[in-house]
Structure 1
Amino acid sequence: MTKEHKSIMAEIYLQTVEKLMMSVPDNNDSRLWRENVSTKNLELDILRIPSKYSAVKDTQELQSRGNVLEVNVQSIMGADTEGPVTIGFSSYVGMELILNESFFYSSVSTSSAMKVNSPVITATVGNRQQHNLTAPVKLTLHHKQLHLSNPVCVYWKYQTSGSSWSPEGCKMLISNVSHTTCSCSHLTSFALIMAISEQKIPDDSALSIFSSVVVSISLVCLALAILTFLLTRSIVDVNKTVYLHLSLCLFGAHLLFLTGVESTSNKTLCSVIAGFLHFLFLASFTWMSLGGLQLLLLVRNLKAVKYSSRQGLRRRHLLPVGYGAPALIVAVAAVVFPSGYGGEQHCWLSQYRGFFWSFRGPSYFLITANLLLFTSVLYNLRSQLHGVNSDVSKLKDTRLLTFKSIAHFVIMGCSWALGFYQGLQVFRYLFVLLNGLQGFFIFLVYCLLNRQVRGEYRSCFRRVTRQTETSVPEGTETKDTTL
């Protein structure tokens, strides 16, 4: 639909619900009558007050999906009122996506993008679409997305030339992180318009170039690590499995993010890219945790001379956990809110209906788990090195082992915790640097600093050297440069 058609159809829907709330039959009952109706797409709270009802409170409160309407009864029931008065309060699911911020025309210029950040609600009295009151009503609306700023209370202004959101007759009383209370002098449909500021990071071309360089280096190191793990036959243990699949997930996630995150022109392709990014990043965090758990098991058994990394996690359990858990989360998220993948500016997860928590929740949990695992690794390493048997050949260089353990702070994804503090520029640079170095440290620790892998490298280099020497044509003379 066009924007005009959307507003017309939405208005018909809103007006139909208003008429529904006002269609309470008059049974001449002298008691208060109240009904709450909840469906998949809306919730209604209807209150019928008999004429000259003496027992009624001065203020009546109606609720709908966490939103609250407070009405002064005397402002709607004068001395000459005949017959009962009906108050209706409704909250809609998803209406804010249709009657969105594009219908708001502010006379105050602002550099921040605006967004409808509350459910659309309707408050009405009697059979009149808009009811002017002698005392204003209070509306408390909950925020769809936390940490947005500058709330503006608006109502839906019906106009033949084109309806829109308008702040006329409404003002903001109080606001916190999750709710805003408005005062309005009339009744109709309402919402909150707020400024998108928490995600707004100033453009930094230097950071963009720095990020591209670091991630490119990481992609090269990850590619070398993947080739090493695939072609090196001398290593057959759990570490190889864990870090091979971690490298594959990180390589796919970083490469897809760099090349496809801004492909928003094709909505279907954008949704697919967002879904794959969701899966790859969650899988990366899962494999980081598995690697941290394997490292902890290794460090706790340093005194066991016969201990091998093969005695840790079982390979047959790794793949179902490493890929099964992220796939389950993505599948559930896609079924619950399929339109949550993709966006207008980036192919990532939508902020609507808290959908972004399908990534943020699991990733926060795994980052916290990795921090705890890393702390436990350092504690066990410290206690084990004090009494370690000097005859254990694999511990001849304890400084190297300590360096490897510290490198796992990055490999295990603990540095992702810096993403919680993106307000300061220094944390943004540290975040990009440390997370971009994950691929470098994986290649360094598990390839370059691995004795078996270095032996494979030397053998491969010798074979290449011999092939080069034997490929020299016969009869070719070489100059004697011996002094």
Structure 2
Amino acid sequence: MTSSLGDQKELASYVIKASEKLVSMLLTPTNTYDNISFTIESLETQIFMVGPNATLDKIPQLITRHALMDIDLIGIAKNNYKKGSVAFMSYTTMEDLLKPDFFNTSDDTVKTMMSTVISATLPQTTNTTLTKPVNFTLKHIREFVSGGNLSCVYWNISEWIVDGCSVVKTNSSFTVCSCLHLSTFALIMQTSRISTKDDDQLVNLLNLVFVIVGLVFTSLALLTFAFCRWKPGVNNVARINLCISLLSAHLLFLLTQQFLDLIKPHKELCAVISGVLHFFFLSYFVWMFIEAVLLFICVKNLSQISSRWRAMLSSRFLIVIGYVIPFIIVRVSVGLLSEGYGSEQCWIKVERGFIWSFLGPVCFIIAINTILFISIIISLHLTLKKLNTEVSHMRQTKITVFKTLAQFVIFGCPWILGPFIDSKVVKILFLILNSQQGTFIFLVYCVLNNEVRQQYVKWLRNLFSGLKPRTIKRGSNNTAD
């Protein structure tokens, strides 16, 4: 389950405070000087203590595998009755909680953690005023990018800030930071987002174009289903409602993204839109499932089904299934976590696993539809092996194969590419295939249907015959001169 940002920050604060408390408990009185070092999972610690009889002019560097610290503990001890202690800690996995993105800057840049997160404290020290700035040498844990901007930052309750810290020296391997106070520190690199912006703009443009194309062909398919004459045995209820849900979901999503800057300030409107989108997308997947089941029955020649099953496949029952199930899922989701709607994109929030109210049903339907698609392919293959190789049969076979392969898109199977859209190519392929379901519905059930094609030709003839100019017949002039 994905934790919220607030939970991550609270957990990080708890770990840091617990570490400091542990260090404080390990301190022992000393008259001269002493040091303690230990390493546990995800934490490496160095402690140095000086007493009233210490003869050191300066303490040695406190060193961990990825960082070291120079501090004037002798000067601090003089202000504390010649006693003082310093603890230096390096957290190897803290960046997973205190992410570099928590460094809020005016520039829209990519932020990368370049060091381990470290902490420096003065446990059991009354006067913690520093006599000199503290220097930290932080080893780079990632490759430095030419042109990147390095910042020495410290953690201030909820974000990384630079107040009181500066970069003294840097090279490709390490950076020296100087700070006027002790806290939890890190080194963050900022790099330009220009290339990422260009990629995002390309993907957004392609998405806009292909969604519009898909909406046009989905509308044509709906008009065809509505106005064409179909054979008595043809039931287009699932296809019509699939087109309605598909058109509603994609059109609302497209309009929301185009006017996102206007909608986002209105939190309640954004939450309502995300809930409606949740319903339409779920409905669209349920209708894909129904269409897959109906085609499976058709391919398997399951005409001799019981009257009970015939009643379950009636139009009214299918409509109830197609819209009531999504409504129940959305209603339950609202009841469990009403604030789960209205993300930055006016969609479902990922916090507390709420996104699974959408991904759960979708994954289940895609898995079933993929199984049905494979079963249909196998049945088709076995059927085609029995056919002879006459030209007419071969042509019909090619059309049948295309229609069957097109069902891969119509059933929503390309959604299985979802986990791999980190790749730019896969992301574009994902957008194209899933935006063109209406196009494939129009091709398979309208363009490649002989009866529908004949009606198209008839409509076009009537249209063009109506556009022909009429011939004006001149009558005889019977008016007397």
CA contact (8 A) 1:294 1:313 kept: no
Residue 276 (structure 1) aligns with: 276
TM-score (norm 1): 0.55
What's 1:382 paired with? 381
Distance 1:226 1:367 in 2: 24
Amino acid at match of 1:112: T
Q: Choose which of 35, 38, 55 in structure 2 pairs with 1:59.
A: 38
Q: How does 1:316-331 map to 2 (within 5 A)?
A: 316=317, 319-320=320-321, 324-325=325-326, 328=329, 331=332
Whichever of the two has the greater Rg, that structure is 2
User: For 1:150 and 1:330, how far apart are their aligned partners in 2?
Assistant: 48
Letter in 2 for 1:263: L
> How many Å apart are 1:439 and its aligned residue?
0.8
Structure number with the higher helix fraction is 2
- 2:236 is aligned, of 230, 240, 261, to 240
- Change in 2 beyond 3 A, CA 1:443/1:157: closer
Quick one: distance in 2 between partners of 1:192 and 1:287?
51
Does residue 216 (structure 1) correspond to residue 212 (structure 2)? The answer is: yes
8 Å CA contact 2:102–2:160 kept in 1: the answer is no
Cα deviations by residue, 1:166-220 (Å, 9 ceiling, x for unpaired): 6769xxxxxxxxxxxxx99986457896879799462477765554443333212
1:402-413, aligned counterparts within 5 Å? 402-413=401-412
Q: Distance in 2 between matches of 1:225 and 1:254?
A: 15
Shift in CA distance, 292/264, structure 1 to aligned 2, threshold 3 Å: same
Number of the residue aligned with 2:413:
414
Q: 2:238 touches 2:318 (CA, 8 Å); kept in 1? A: no
Residue 225 (structure 1) aligns with: 221
Contact in 1 for aligned 2:340/2:348 (Cα 8 Å):
no
Matches within 5 A, 1:165-180: 165=162
Q: CA deviation at 1:367?
A: 4.0
How far apart, in 2, do the equivalents of 1:191 and 1:325 lie? Answer: 47
**Equivalence for 2:437:** 438
Are 1:239 and 1:291, in contact at CA under 8 Å, matched by a contact in 2?
A: no
How far apart, CA to CA, are the structure 2 residues paired with 1:285 and 1:115? 38
Shift of 1:432: 4.0
How far is the alpha carbon of 1:86 from its aligned partner? 12
Residues 1:112 and 2:109 aligned together: yes
Question: Does the CA contact (< 8 Å) of 2:87 and 2:122 recur in 1?
Answer: yes
Give me the TM-score of the superposition, normalised by structure 2.
0.56
**What do residues 435-480 of structure 1 show as CA deviations (whole Å, max 9, x unaligned)?**
3321121123233444665687789x59x969x99xxxxxx97669
Equivalent residues of 1:367, 1:417 under 8 A apart: yes
Alignment partner of 1:264 is 2:261: yes
Q: Distance in 2 between matches of 1:369 and 1:279?
A: 20
Instruction: Decide whether aligned partners of structure 1 residues 127 and 399 sit closer, same or farther in structure 2, where only a CA change above 3 A counts.
Output: same
| 1:296 equivalent in structure 2 | 296
Partner of 1:101: 103
User: Where does structure 1 lack aligned partners over 5 or more consecutive residues?
Assistant: 1-9, 23-34, 37-43, 63-67, 139-148, 170-182, 470-475
Task: Extract unaligned runs of 5+ from structure 2.
Answer: 1-5, 30-35, 53-81, 139-147, 168-176, 475-481
> Superposed, which structure 2 residues align to 1:325-340 within 5 Å?
325=326, 328=329, 331-332=332-333, 335-336=336-337, 338=339
- Secondary structure of 1:245's match? helix
Q: Which position in structure 2 is the counterpart of 1:287?
A: 287
Counterpart CA distance in 2 for 1:442 and 1:320 is 21
Preserved CA contact (<8 Å) 1:87 1:125: no
1:79–1:243 Cα change, 3 Å? farther
Distance 1:454 1:100, change over 3 A: same
- Calculate percent identity across the aligned residue pairs: 30
Q: For residue 285 of structure 2, what is the amino acid of its counterpart?
A: F
The separation in 1 between residues aligned to 2:360 and 2:190, in whole angstroms, is 24
- Give, in whole Å, the separation in 1 of the partners of 2:341 and 2:294: 35
2-structure distance, mates of 1:191, 1:328? 44
1:382 is displaced (CA, Å) by: 0.7
**For 1:59, what is the secondary structure of its paired residue?**
strand
Question: For the structure 1 residues 375 and 445, does the alpha-carbon distance in structure 2 shift closer, same or farther, using more than 3 Å as the test?
Answer: same
How far is 1:388 from its partner? 7.2
Moved more, 121-130 or 438-447: 121-130
Q: CA deviation at 1:358?
A: 5.2
CA 1:384–1:326: 2 relative to 1, 3 Å: farther
Counterpart contact for 1:154–1:191, Cα < 8 Å:
yes
| CA spacing shift, 1:250–1:61, aligned 2, 3 Å | same
Report deviation, 1:227: 3.7
Which secondary structure does the structure 2 equivalent of 1:264 belong to?
helix
Query: Does the CA contact (< 8 Å) of 1:124 and 1:187 recur in 2?
Result: yes
* Number of equivalent positions: 390
- The partner residue of 2:249 within 236, 241, 253 is 253
State the distance in 2 between where 1:195 and 1:219 align.
40
Question: Structure 2 CA distance, aligned partners of 1:239 and 1:151?
Answer: 65
Q: Deviations over 1:139-183 (max 9, x none)?
A: xxxxxxxxxx9998842259xxx99356769xxxxxxxxxxxxx9
Residue 328 of structure 1 aligns with an amino acid whose one-letter code is I
Secondary structure at 1:284 match in 2? helix
Contact 1:49 1:85 in 2 (8 A): no
Is residue 222–residue 443 contact of structure 1 (8 Å, CA) maintained in 2? yes
What is the distance in 2 between the residues matched to 1:195 and 1:236? 66
